[in-house]
Structure 1
Amino acid sequence: MKSRKTPIQTSFIFLLFFCCFLSINAQVYQKIPQWDEEINTSIKNYLDSTMSQTGRKVAVFDCDGTLFGQAPYYLADEALFAYAMEHYKGKKDSLSVSKMAIVDSLLHGDNQGTDYVKRRINFLAGLPVSEVETMGMNAYKEKYGQKFYPEMKQFLLNLKEFGFEVWVITASPEVLYQRFVNEELGIPKNRIIGVKSVISNGILTDQLVSPIPQEEGKAKTIETFIKASPMIVGGNSRGDLEMMERSTGIKIIVNPNDQKIYSETNVRELNGKTLKTFWTQHHAIEVPCKDTVNAKTHYVSRAWNVKINASH
């Protein structure tokens, strides 16, 4: 005759299977070797504290300078300038002349704020979505393919392990960035938000869609498109400040500038401080990421005397 298991034996077996299930499905933080123990411990402790969190867990990151390198030039600008060099420079037709006039304004006008990002969209207007995606992908493969920070890629893998939705908000043209960021990081295209313009019959127009994700516009972009308070926000520049302040959990600042002293009255606490000082005082986690220049890479931006972004 088969012996029957006692209630104690049954309970023990159930407990054993339950423990095995937990060990198989446990959320495990993978240490990021490029960052010191204090940084890893701070991040791990926070992620562990979110394990019982119900509902959406959202993390939002800037792109250039935060997820991949921006030295010596921004990918968005290099992609546009390379395209202009190949398709418009030296030609006398009306389209080429008008597009080169936009390039001239990008090269010699103010390269900060919403006007600059609008001019990028004006340059791309009239092109098919597929061509703009290819433009971004070509620039990435040819000149930026090794510039995604490995430590940030591991950080994103940790966030996914702990059940976070990862979003990207960039002041660069959305269609230009979505394909290569999606293919490199596995983030769905609809979670890669940039400067949007209306698309009509597969063609980009110059009709901008608000909010424009620049400075305060990045914070509004979170409310408008993500519709959830982010628990983690990461950035690297002044343009990410308002977005980072929306974090309900931790703030990640990548390679913060400690040279430029800001004199802003709209962000009174930044007035008279460097970005590094500001975020140190506001308890952000500062993380280093190596961003250097490959001297062998040919940049159209260099030939056109564009200001160089600092290396780290």
Structure 2
Amino acid sequence: MKKLSTLHSYLFILLFAMVFTSCKEQTHTQETATTTESEHPKEIADPLPSWNEGKAKQAIIDFVTNSTTVGHPDFIEKSDRIVTTDNDGTLWSEQPMYFQLFFALDRIKALAPEHPEWKNKQPYKAVLENDMKTLMAQGEKGLLEIVMTTHAGMSTDEFAGIVKDWIGTAEHPIKKKKYTELIFQPMLELVKYFQANEFKTFIVSGGGIEFMRPWAEEVYGIPSENVIGSSIKTKYSYNDGKPTITRLAEIDLIDDKDGKPVGINRYIGRKPVVAIGNSDGDLQMMHWAESNPIKNLQIYVHHTDSIREWKYDRQSHIGTFDKALDEATDKGWDIVDMAKDWKVIYPYELKN
């Protein structure tokens, strides 16, 4: 992947930092209408069965137990039980490129028959020929053109349909699995554990909000209204009795780094008590949660498994975990070692 190492400066900083960045739902059955909370948290035999026993797992269980036990000094009211989690590299894999970038490149190829001129026009020619070196050489202008070609100029309903079709059939070029099969089983369990104890769980990602919403609820059990991501501007129109929202080729929110606290404040209006991420791009979200006067928890997923997934951190062109790794270590935040803390990585491993 050395050819992609310099691609980070464009694909991550520009494509995702400029435009996008940088499992069935478990519902909690309400008790009879009452103003008092249960004296003890919801009992689950082992809420995290795919996690090995260790510091990370115990810290999570202790936090949930204490924060949901009435009378405990660290008890948290239901209204304040807010969890924010990153998506790429935190809930599913992100190597060798962000999955949304694979989507954009596939869309160019799918649209190519309608645009024969692309065969000799950059940056499309590079995409169609799988020439990443030439694509990178197109710089900001070329990559932004690809993004806007594949993500703007259509209605939100049309885009959602395209995403659903792609996510339902596309396969990862290395793993040879659908992208939705490359979600992390231990994180699915963690999301369900929080939900079972009445924590509202939100995805806060540098990825595109409209890219994640069509499938997030089915795959993660996180409602689409609880998905926050980078976005482009939209415009409402009403023609011939048909209301339509059209995606425009203009940036609205960059939900990465400094943009994550901004997105959380805009869409949630409360500081999280739990923040989960995997890279330097999540550090500001960690700071935001840490500033909450209520007892809080910061969790970092460290990609240490070169056999079952990928091993990377400080020097990676995707999901760089450098400054945040130092700060998490210094502050004693919980760092999940994927190789040591997780029995399995993906759900399909449970079937083997």
**TM-score of the alignment, normalized to the shorter chain, above 0.5:** yes
Q: Could you tell me whether the CA contact under 8 Å between 1:84 and 1:99 is conserved in 2?
A: no
Select which of 305, 310, 329 maps to 1:280.
Answer: 329
- What is the aligned partner in structure 2 of residue 33 from structure 1? 50
Letter in 1 for 2:64: L
Q: Is 1:174–2:209 an aligned residue pair?
A: yes
**Most deviating of 46-55 and 137-146:** 137-146
Match of 2:277 in 1: 235
Q: Of residues 299, 315, 323 in structure 2, which corresponds to 1:252? A: 299
Compare CA radii of gyration and give the structure with the larger one.
Answer: 1
SS at match of 1:278: helix
Greater RCO (Cα-Cα under 8 Å, separation 6 or more) = 2
Matched residue of 1:70: which SS? coil
The CA RMSD over aligned residues, in Å, is 3.6
CA–CA distance in 1 between the matches of 2:279 and 2:221? 24
Match of 2:266 among 200, 215, 224: 224
In terms of mean alpha carbon deviation, does 123-132 or 229-238 score higher? Answer: 123-132
- Structure 2: runs of 5+ lacking an equivalent: 1-36, 69-74, 172-178, 236-243, 291-295, 304-311
CA distance 1:57–1:105, change in 2 (3 Å): farther
- Structure 2 match to 1:53: 76
Listed as ranges, the matches of 1:63-78 within 5 Å are 63-78=87-102
Q: Is contact 1:133–1:177 with CA below 8 Å preserved after alignment? A: no
- Return the alpha-carbon distance in structure 1 between the equivalents of residues 143 and 86 of structure 2: 17
C-alpha contact (below 8 Å) 2:275/2:297 kept by paired residues: yes
TM-score, normalisation: structure 1 = 0.71
Structure 1 unmatched ranges of 5 or more: 1-20, 262-269, 295-312
Q: Report if the CA contact (8 A) 1:28-1:161 is conserved.
A: no
Alignment deviations for residues 136-161 of structure 1 (CA, whole Å, 9 cap, x no partner): 33343332121110100000011011
TM norm structure 2: 0.63
Q: Give the 3-state SS of the residue equivalent to 1:145 in structure 2.
A: helix
1:135 counterpart = 2:178: no
1:160 correspondence with 2:160? no
Alignment-mate amino acid for residue 53 of structure 1: I
Partner of 2:307: none
Q: May I ask how many residue pairs the two structures share in their alignment?
A: 259
Shift of 1:34: 2.6
Cα pair 1:64 1:74 within 8 Å, conserved: yes
* Larger displacement relative to structure 2 (168-177 or 149-158): 168-177
Shift of 1:236: 0.8
In 1: Cα distance, 2:151 partner to 2:123 partner: 9
Would the alpha carbon gap of residues 250 and 110 (structure 1) be closer, same or farther in structure 2, given more than 3 Å must change?
farther
The equivalences for 1:83-94 within 5 A come to 83-88=107-112, 91-92=115-116
1:111 and 1:238 mapped to 2: Cα distance? 23
Describe the superposition over 1:217-239 as per-residue Cα deviations: whole angstroms up to 9, x where unpaired.
11111112211010000111111
Q: Residues 61, 117 of structure 1: CA spacing in aligned structure 2 closer, same or farther, 3 A cutoff?
A: farther
Contact 2:154 2:247 in 1 (8 A): yes
